[in-house]
Amino acid sequence: MVLRNLFRRKGAAEREEKLTKEQSVENQREIAEKEEIQQEEVTPGKSGADEAKTSDDESSPNGGGRGLFARLKQGLAKTRSGFVSRVDQVLTRSEIDEDILEELEGLLVQADIGVSTTLYLMDELRTAIKERGLKRADELRPVLAELIGEILTANSGQLALREDSPTVYVVVGVNGAGKTTTIGKLAYRYTQQGKKVLLGAGDTFRAAAIDQLEVWANRAGADMIRHQEGSDPAAVAFDTIQAGRARGADVIIIDTAGRLQNKTNLMKELSKVYRVVERELGRPADEVILTVDATTGQNALPQARVFSEATPVSAVALTKLDSTAKGGIVVAIAHELGLPIKLIGIGEGYNDLRDFVAEDFVDALFATED
Ligand SMILES: Nc1nc2c(ncn2[C@@H]2O[C@H](COP(=O)(O)OP(=O)(O)OP(=O)(O)O)[C@@H](O)[C@H]2O)c(=O)[nH]1
Ligand SMILES: [Mg+2]
């Protein structure tokens, strides 16, 4: 290995083109996989709550402690074996050379970290190699973890919770992203804390969606406002805010549709729901939570942009991290969207929703001990 080669940078455009090609092959494979999964799905909107498991005995969703950390690690098992283990295999080779860096670059793209974030990380790694005089490949592992940690820390946060009730969340996202499930988990979290929770069944597009939310509400011990299928979701939002005030709710969470006849109608409807919430409250909602399915891969990024145009998205809930080996999407979303990730879903059970704590996440992902 000639050291001179180590810092030789390929033309940025050439690298980007190569990675983008790899990414698009990867995307096509992903779409094919996703279509297969969708064909296997039973009834649309079938409730995960039907068999909602308390897969974690501890009632506090983010209380810390070994049990919860182990559960987080377990939730990230696919990404740990699909991405981190592969990185480790590459980095066990003795010396840092151009081949190793290229392989690492490829693994980052395959893990859904995305082309532009991968290029950023590789540039930072090369700088660190130079500045810190790194020679051995295994020295790259902690640097990679550190760089990912920096991105995540800068783009994470906690859900706003008001002292003066009610706290109001509006939850948006494409169909199947996990909105209703996330609302159910949040409702459970807050009722466990002794808070009065009111849900608004704002996905009036399908009767099944209203029933699904009701199952979660009942199990969590939360109240719910529902109208008939096909009714105006903005009217549901209006009634939910009014009822929440009248009943002294601490937390109000409004579900919305992820699918309508077409995207333009959906975005118009979401804007209207949000406007009504804001008007009734006389202030912005405390959070507009965009729910993103981690298994959607790079499509998550354009989706997020469209929803952000329709509503003032203030938080991302990234669901189904347990179902993907490409948890690198967390890094892409954090780096490219400019929206803080505040929640992650690592399973279908009540306790499988976590506050997104960047440091814990990186520790769980890169932990070496079992
Ligand atoms: N494994 C796993 N499954 C999840 C997670 N979050 C949601 N799901 C599942 O994803 C499926 C879709 O979730 P929903 O909550 O119905 O999604 P939605 O966004 O409300 O969908 P629409 O109402 O159709 O717009 C359900 O089967 C959930 O159980 C998660 O973190 N992990
Ligand atoms: Mg739903």
pLDDT digit string (tens) for 77-114? 999 999 999 999 999 878 999 999 999 999 999 999 99
Average pLDDT, the chain: 86
Confidence of residue 370 (pLDDT cuts 50, 70, 90): low
Predicted pLDDT of residue 259: 81
Predicted pLDDT of residue 354: 95
Mutate to test the pocket of ligand 1, among 171, 329, 348, 350 (most ligand atoms within 8 A of CB): 348
Query: Is the predicted pLDDT of residue 305 greater than 70, yes or no?
Result: yes
Predicted pLDDT of residue 251: 98
Ligand 1: atom nearest CA of 319 is: 31
Could you tell me the distance, in angstroms and rounded to a whole number, from the CA of residue 175 to the centre of ligand 1?
9
Nearest ligand by distance to the CA of 352: 1
Could you tell me the distance, in angstroms and rounded to a whole number, from the CA of residue 369 to the centre of ligand 1?
31
Ligand 1: atom nearest CA of 173 is: 19
Strands 197-200 and 251-254: parallel
Could you tell me the distance, in angstroms and rounded to a whole number, from the CA of residue 35 to the centre of ligand 1?
16
Ligand 1: atom nearest CA of 44 is: 24
CA distance 19 to 120: 13
Query: Is the predicted pLDDT of residue 49 greater than 60, yes or no?
Result: no
What mean pLDDT comes out for the span 156-168? 96
Residue whose structure tokens are 């699904």: 212
Could you tell me the distance, in angstroms and rounded to a whole number, from the CA of residue 334 to the centre of ligand 1?
21
- DSSP string covering 29-77: HHHHHHHHHHHH--STT--GGGG----S--SSTT--SHHHHHHHHHHTH
Ligand 1: atom nearest CA of 212 is: 16
Query: Is the predicted pLDDT of residue 357 greater than 70, yes or no?
Result: yes
Note if the pTM is more than 0.85: yes
* Residues with C-beta less than 6 Å from any ligand 1 atom: 45, 48, 173, 175-181, 203, 209, 258-259, 291, 319-320, 322-323, 345-348, 352
Phi, psi of 288 (to 5 degrees): -110, 110
Nearest ligand by distance to the CA of 177: 1
Nearest ligand by distance to the CA of 179: 1
Residue 237's identity, in one-letter code, is: A
Q: Do the Cβ atoms of 170 and 201 come closer than 8 Å?
A: no
Could you tell me the distance, in angstroms and rounded to a whole number, from the CA of residue 130 to the centre of ligand 1?
45
pLDDT higher for 26 or 293?
293
Find the length of the chain: 370
What mean pLDDT comes out for the span 275-283? 97
The mean-pLDDT minimum among 46-60, 169-183, 310-324 falls in 46-60
Mutate to test the pocket of ligand 1, among 46, 181, 255 (most ligand atoms within 8 A of CB): 181
pLDDT above 90 covers a percentage of the chain that reads 72
Ligand 1: atom nearest CA of 177 is: 19
